[in-house]
Every structure is written in C-alpha cells, then in structure tokens.
Structure 1
Amino acid sequence: MSRFSEQFGIKPTDQDDWFDTYLPSDTNFCVDPFLIWSDTDARWFEAHNHTLDFFATAFRLVRESQGNEQSAAWKQAQSFLVFPEPKEFCLGVAAGSSDGAGAGHILQEGMLDGIRTALGLGFDNVPHIEMLALFQGGMGLDRISDAVCDILKSYFIQYTQDIARRHGVPMESFRVNNASWSEEFACWQTKEVELPLNPFAKTRRPVLLVPKRFLKDIPVVTANGFWRYAWGKHADELRVNFNYDIARNVDRWTKAKLARQNPTIVASYLKDLEHKEHEPYPVDKDPKLRTRWWEMGAAMANRLPLTHVPQDHSEFPDFVNAIIQSFRHGVEHQDDWQNFWHQGVSLPEKKVQSLFRSCAKHYCKANDISITGEANAGRGPVDFQFAKGWIARTVVEMKLMSNSKFWDGILAQTPQYAISEEVHVAFFVAIAYTDQEMTDSHANKVHKAARIASQRHGVEVRPVIIDARRKDSASKLKPPQEMRDELHVESDDTGDAAA
C-alpha cells in the first residue's frame, strides 16, 4: 500500500476533491497560487487575501529597514521569509523520496531581493507573489509552491483534518513547523495538531492533502510566458532596450531585467492572466505520467508473474534478470510500449525508471527482496539496488540510448557502482526509441562496451536492450518478402509432387 487512500482504506466519493498522494516519494507537482486565487469555494475564498497579508507584513519590514541589512527590521524579514520545503505534502522535485529537496534559504534570498526590487519600483505589495519571481530572476517559480504551502498551511491542516474525520482516518498529535504565522509579530508559529501519519517517511511526520484542482506541473505564471507576452503586446516599447531577434532564447536574468525595467507590463501580464481560464493538471488522465506510474508498473507485473524464484544467493542475479526480461517482454510484446509514449512524444528517462521501479517492487515484495531507487553507491546514486541480506545483491543502471552520457554509463558508471557496492554482477538496461538505436551495429556496440567494462573492472556487466519504439497493431503486420517467396516455392513443389 502506498497511496493515501490505500494506506487508510478509503474509497473516494464525489465529495473527495483531494489529490490521492503517493506517500513513499514526492510527486512532481506544484501548488499553483494562481489557481487558488481564482477559486470560488468558500473554504479557499480568503486564501489569496491571507497570502497578500503575509507579504504586506514582509514589505513593511523591508521598507522599515531602508535597505540596511544590519537593521532589526531586515533581520526580522529574513527570519519571516524562510520557507522550508513543506515535506508533509509529498510534492516537489525530490522524486526519490518524500523528504524534499530543501531550498528554504535560497527562496528566502530570492523573496528579499524581489521585495526590495518591488519597493524600488513603487509597489507597496504585489497582487500575485509570482511578480516577485519575475522581478528577481534567480528564484524558480516552482519554488513559489513551497512558499504558498507554508503560508497557507493552516488552511491545508484544517482541510486534511476534515477529510480524515469524514473517512474515519486515525490521526496523531504532531508538532508542525510553520503551522501558522503572526501578522502582529511577523514570525512563524509551531503548533501541536492532529493529522494522519505518513508511515513511509524516514522521520515521523504527518500527511497534508491538497485539492487536485490546485496542482500544476508547469505554473501559470512563468518567466517564458511573461517574455512572450511582453514581446507580443509591447514590442515597440521594448525595442529601445532589447533586441528580440538576438535575445529570443535569453537567460532568466535578462527576463528579470525586462520585468524590472517594465513593471507596468508585468502588472498587465498578470492582469491578462486573471481574465483567462487556467486548467489544473489533469491528474485522472495523467498524460505525462506524473502520478499513475505506480499503478501502471503494478499492471505490468500482474500480467507477467515470475516463475523464477532464487533459491540461494548464486541465483540472485538470475532473479533480477528475470524481472528485467519480464519488463522487456511487456514493452516489446504486450503493448506496454504505449506507456512510454504520449501524442508522439516519448517518456523521459526518469519516468521510464519510475515505471520499472513500480514493476520491480511488486515482484520484490512477493519474494521478500528489497529494491532501493537511486541508492547511494559510494560514488553517486545508482538507479536501482536489489538485495536480500548482504550476500544476495546486485545493481541496475537504466539509461535512454539518446542520453548524452549513455556510453559513460555502461563503460564507467555501472561497473563503479558494482565495485562500490561489492557486487559481482551489474545490469545495464538500454532503452531504445528509434530505428537507429535498434540497428544491429548499435546493439553490437552496446554488448562490446559491456565486455570492455567487465574485463577492465573485474565485474560482470550484463547489457539488456529494450525496444520501446512505437509498434504497429498485429493486424497490420506483414511478413517479409523472403517468407512469402519461401511459401510459394514450397507450394510449387507440393503441386509438382501431387501431379
């Protein structure tokens, strides 16, 4: 069990609008403040104003400091604008676990710089906190999700408690950091609150849920979106300071400079977005495989149960090979290749690894074998480590053939992971998406690289190539011409004999 609903035996109804989060690791979504701003539900109606009140307090402190970084007001603003990654949500960029990537102090510096810039441009507050990121340039807009989750954490706490009570989910007492904040004292408050437990977290902590309709994979407000808007609507004004033909692919600092020099265009851009409909990420359809990878991997494993079970440690590599071959068979012969493509675009490497991890976990669980994704192998993270005790262990590295570091992976990285982990067999799984990648010459080169790596490093590197190209329907397949010719020759011979 790994999703919130599975862990607590919940069957969601139409009343349940929350995202069914995957508890063991972060899902790569952000809570988009623009979607909260436009929400008309009574629970969230005041949430945007709550965010504006927070930044009004921060603006006041920075204004009082008069830019003096040694003043009490500035130091208070620094403390107030620390946004630790809110791990309770299991959202963000740390896909390997739900422990967060952590960028609180980086976000703090960006917020301070953005507020100082906004004050210098004559703003007493900002209509949307994304404006600060547009002015500042170094603060990723996806990190704003962390700030929003912290600022509105009291809202999400109550929301989660209501869901837990409605479904009879047990709650425990937790000391939650950034549970609320004080406008009067400009500080964060830690509180004891009742919430459900995340049993998969490395340290004891609760779960917080969010409505699906607030989630995006790409924020509504982006530096690229502002850049396109500015040049589409205000090109004549901007040509004085910017040459669009030269700077179409500019860095974020240039885009921030454009924003600082043209604050009215920034305000116009945000106002324009206010009058447009913005859809959340379609969680239920999940076209980019952000969240359904666990269920897809489970389905692949269920369709192809393993017949090989290791009897002792010497058979352990064969068991891992059986998992890889089962995964390969599903992709090449049972239409699981469709999970690798969406509207003609192939899955990125991390998503392919997620599918394999889910598939492998289901096999491993049935045989009491542990699998660790991106385990630290002494010289960096190996993609997968399989183990049953200390003696029965092996590692698996998985790369797209299009990866610029593909050959580094098989010649150097994979054998080094094996050496670091003191295992004798390592698998290198190559994912092919194109005809060129599936040519005999390319396949032979992969096997040759594995032999070279094995001989050089004294470990056995076993290569596996998986053909993840898009496939034609079996009803459209035609035999090669030589098979047709052979058929007709045999028919003629038979006819002569009969005569």
Structure 2
Amino acid sequence: MLLSDYIDVGKYFEDNGVFDPVLDNDNGFFINILRLKTAKTHEFQESYQRINDLFRKIIKLLDRAEKKNISDIFFRQALTLFDFSEVNGIGLGFSEKAPGSGFGPQLSKRVIETAYDIVKAGITDPEFFQLLPLFQNDVGPDRLSDMIATIILPDIEAYTKRVYMECGIDEVKYPDKKFVGSYMLNPYRKHEILLLPIEILHKLPIAKSWEEIDSVVTENNIIRSVMNQQVAEEWSKYSASLKKQYLREKVFTDSNTCQYVVDEYKKEELDLYNPEDRIEYLLEKIWQRIAKLDMSWKTKLQIEAIDSKAAALEIMEYFKQWVENNKGWEVIQDASSRNREKILQRIIHLSGLCYIEKNNLDMSCEPDEGRGPADFKVSRGQDKTLIEVKLSSNSQYLHGYEVQVEEYGKAENTDKLVYVLVDVGNPLKVKKLKELHEQNIRQGKKVLELIIIDSTSKESASRA
C-alpha cells in the first residue's frame, strides 16, 4: 500500500518530488549525505551544515580528551552527543534491526573510540564521520541513514508538516484515519508517517553489514589509490571485519592518508537518484496502477478444472488485453530499457497469481530444471506448460523461438510450450517472426504457441 493511494492524493507526490512510501514494508533507500549537500528543498538546505556542526562539537571534545574511556569527562561528553536512535516514521532500510535500535551504547562507544584515534592523528574535518561504514564494523549505510535522520529530524518534521498542509492531511479531512499529534499513523507499522523529498534519497545496498565493502574499495579511486599492490592482492583473502580493521588502522588513523581520503571525498558529487530504478519499488507502483484499471476479467475466473496449457494461454490473453486495451503499454514504455524485461515478467506473474490460485494450479517464475530457466511454468502435477517472454528489442528473440523454448521443454519433459513476443516498437522483427512461424506451419512442422503483444505507444481514442 502506497501512501498516495492510502490517502488518495492523486499525483501530488509525483508532481512535487515527494517520496511516496510503501506503508506495509520498508523502502529500500537511505538518506544520502552528499545529496543533502546540494538539496534544493528549502527545509533541507541547512541540513548538511547541521550534521557537520554536531560532529565538530564531538571532534573538539575528543581533541581535549586525554583518555580513551568514559573516565575522561570530554570523552564522556562526546559519547553523550553521539546518541542516535532509528527514526521509524520515514520507513527506510530493510528492517534488519529492531525498531528504534539505532546505534546502541556499545556500538556508539566503539565509534567514538575510533574517532578519538582519528582526531588524535590530526584529522579535524567532520566529514570523516560520513565515511563510518568504510572502517567501523556493524555500521552500514542503513545505520548511517538512521544517524543522519536523527540529526536532521527537525528538518524532516518541518517538511512533513508543509506537505501535510498543502495536501490537507489532517483529522478533519481524514476522520477515519488515526493521528498521533500532527502526524497520521501508519496503519501497518503503528508509528507516525514522516515524509522526505526524493532528491535526498539514494539506493541502499542489500549487504547486511556492508560486506560489499569489496566493491567499494575496488571501485573507489580514492580508497584504491592509497592501497599498495601487495595489499590489493591479499584483499580478497581478508574477512569483512579484517578489511575494515585494515582501513581503520592503515588509512583512517594515518594523518596524511586519512586527510587525503577526506579531502577527495569532499569533492565527490552524487547524481539525483530515481527510486523507480529499484525494481521492487517500481513494481509496487505498477501493481497499484494495474489495480486501478479495468480488471473485469477477474470475474471470469473458472471454477472447473482446466489443463496447464489452456490456463497459460488464458493468462497471457488477459495480459495481452490489459497491455493493448487498458493502457498497460504505458507501464511497459515507462520502464527503463535496462529493467523492462524483468519488470514485464514480474507483472505477468502478479497478474496470473489470482487465476492460478482459483484453478488449483501452480505458477512459478523462472523455474530452473537444468538447461537454464524458462520465464514461467504453469503446472498441476505432471501437467506442465512453459512460457517464454521476450521483448522485440531483445537480440535473441529469434533464438528464443527456434531453440530456447524447445530446450526448456526437454529439460522439463513437456511439449506444451508458449512463446510470447512483446513488441516495443520493432515492426521488422515482428514481421520476421510471424513469417517464420507461418512457414513452419505450412511445412507441417510441430510449432509452439505464438502470442504477439503490441505494447507500442497508442493515441487516445479522441485523437485517433
């Protein structure tokens, strides 16, 4: 359930750059400090400075501290300032931690102990705190995002209140919704709904504790340039904790090296990120759009037994009707070419699940029985039908028809095969495939079922 659908605000979020959160699940994004640095949304224009001001205070305290433990008053005060819980209302991350866990006292103490070493090495730039996931165990970009959200919570609240006011989100307009103070309550997560502008978000790596540090080090010119060849060769043999230990001891507590890394980091820029580039989030939005279109075919679900091939053909016929006659082509055309085929497969799977369940069948997505996976298998016991879907933009579209599906059929021990070509604007390819199919029929060859779906852009009826 997207917030925009829950409160029915139409395209306001989309038109005004407001992130539209999924309410019943975490959204796989995080607040990125580099995006805050160039934020245009006025509530967040001072956020970057707010973050650095806090870390400057911590650095000054650590600089005055004489011991790396809580018996030193300055160290203790620095530790007190480094106190961040999870801001649950924004719904970011992947729910790896218990709600509100944030950093916790033990992790905070380890971070401040490391920060003490870095400050004593002569580094006073507050930006080194932004690089925590590189050298501190148990700190990944999701936890770093929690830290940022806690510091800039006043800015998040101010932005949320403005959007609420502009949309009229209050107890008067929504008497059936629950509110906590000024904020609407998330009905699934039982905490307030806070809002963020898309411009400050970025994708969140799914690595559980940023063990994808390998790619960070090997792809980041700044870090790689300060590692000698010997270390680079041994790097793959290190455990995740040893890798962070190496960076902590050899890079971040060496004054010259650390200063170089921080200086180069401060020059970094990060392009605006489109949340719809993340397939899982885009599918949530697509499914909401599907649900709003004419889905009267759902009333035609059969109760009597139907074999797998008839079911597969009927599912694809419903999908064809949705694409060609219910503006489904817009969803396909709007998807980026990089993700389009994967998104197409997910939509077919989603749209077929209700039919499959009603008819006591099974529909698996990309089953793999040996010679690579077909896109779909519709089955009931040993009655199996395979469906292969290709976009007309795919260079392997003919190979898929002539070879691929047959190989999948042999692996699954079935001759019930369906090949679907979705035309995204390649008429010559469509013509070539049709001619090949008709030629095979004339020659008396056994042919698989061919379905061609037109998903090219279409004018409205009035314009036509």
Partner of 1:17: 17
Higher helix share: 2
1:230-254: per-residue Cα shift (whole Å, max 9, x none)? 568735xx327x4334537966445
- CA RMSD of the aligned region, Å? 5.6
Conserved in 1, the CA contact under 8 Å of 2:82 and 2:108? no
Partner of 1:90: 91
Higher strand share: 1
Partner of 2:48: 48
For residue 19 of structure 1, report the CA deviation from its aligned partner.
1.5
Conserved in 1, the CA contact under 8 Å of 2:23 and 2:189? no
Conserved in 2, the CA contact under 8 Å of 1:198 and 1:207? yes
1:148-179: per-residue Cα shift (whole Å, max 9, x none)? 2233222211211111112211159xxxxxxx
Q: Residues 187-336 of structure 1: matches in 2 within 5 Å? A: 193-199=181-187, 201-203=188-190, 205-217=191-203, 223=213, 224-225=215-216, 227-230=218-221, 234=225, 238-239=227-228, 242-245=230-233, 247=235, 252-253=240-241, 255-256=243-244, 257-263=246-252, 264-283=256-275, 286-289=276-279, 291-298=281-288, 302=293, 305-306=296-297, 308-309=299-300, 325-326=315-316, 329-330=319-320
Alpha carbons of 1:101 and 1:243: their partners in 2 closer, same or farther (altered >3 Å)? closer
For residue 91 of structure 1, report the CA deviation from its aligned partner.
2.4
Which letter does structure 2 place at the counterpart of 1:258? Answer: L
Q: Residues 436-451 of structure 1: matches in 2 within 5 Å? A: 438-446=404-412
1:119 has 2:107 as partner: no
Partner of 2:161: 161
| CA distance, structure 2, for counterparts of residue 432 and residue 345 of structure 1 | 14
1:193-245: per-residue Cα shift (whole Å, max 9, x none)? 4112334x143x221110111011158x994445544568735xx327x4334
Q: Residues 131-150 of structure 1: matches in 2 within 5 Å? A: 131-150=131-150
For residue 67 of structure 1, report the CA deviation from its aligned partner.
4.5
Which letter does structure 2 place at the counterpart of 1:277? Answer: E
| CA distance, structure 1, for counterparts of residue 70 and residue 313 of structure 2 | 58
- Structure 2 SS opposite 1:9: coil
For residue 34 of structure 1, report the CA deviation from its aligned partner.
1.6
- Structure 2 SS opposite 1:244: helix
| CA distance, structure 2, for counterparts of residue 29 and residue 16 of structure 1 | 19
Conserved in 1, the CA contact under 8 Å of 2:312 and 2:387? no
Percent sequence identity over aligned pairs: 13
| CA distance, structure 1, for counterparts of residue 98 and residue 386 of structure 2 | 31
| CA distance, structure 1, for counterparts of residue 426 and residue 152 of structure 2 | 50
For residue 269 of structure 1, report the CA deviation from its aligned partner.
3.4
Conserved in 1, the CA contact under 8 Å of 2:84 and 2:146? no
Alpha carbons of 1:164 and 1:114: their partners in 2 closer, same or farther (altered >3 Å)? same
- Structure 2 SS opposite 1:30: strand
1:399-454: per-residue Cα shift (whole Å, max 9, x none)? 434699x99xx99xx99xx9xxxxx9999998777867943242343367xxxxxx
Conserved in 1, the CA contact under 8 Å of 2:283 and 2:347? yes
For residue 266 of structure 1, report the CA deviation from its aligned partner.
4.3
Alpha carbons of 1:13 and 1:138: their partners in 2 closer, same or farther (altered >3 Å)? closer
Alpha carbons of 1:339 and 1:27: their partners in 2 closer, same or farther (altered >3 Å)? farther
Alpha carbons of 1:443 and 1:341: their partners in 2 closer, same or farther (altered >3 Å)? farther
For residue 30 of structure 1, report the CA deviation from its aligned partner.
1.3
TM-score (structure 1 length as normaliser): 0.59
Alpha carbons of 1:447 and 1:294: their partners in 2 closer, same or farther (altered >3 Å)? farther
Paired residue total? 401
| CA distance, structure 2, for counterparts of residue 126 and residue 486 of structure 1 | 72
Which letter does structure 1 place at the counterpart of 2:186? Answer: N
Which letter does structure 1 place at the counterpart of 2:426? Answer: S
For residue 329 of structure 1, report the CA deviation from its aligned partner.
4.0
Conserved in 2, the CA contact under 8 Å of 1:164 and 1:171? no
TM-score (structure 2 length as normaliser): 0.63
Gapped regions of structure 2 (runs ≥ 5): 173-179, 391-395, 445-464
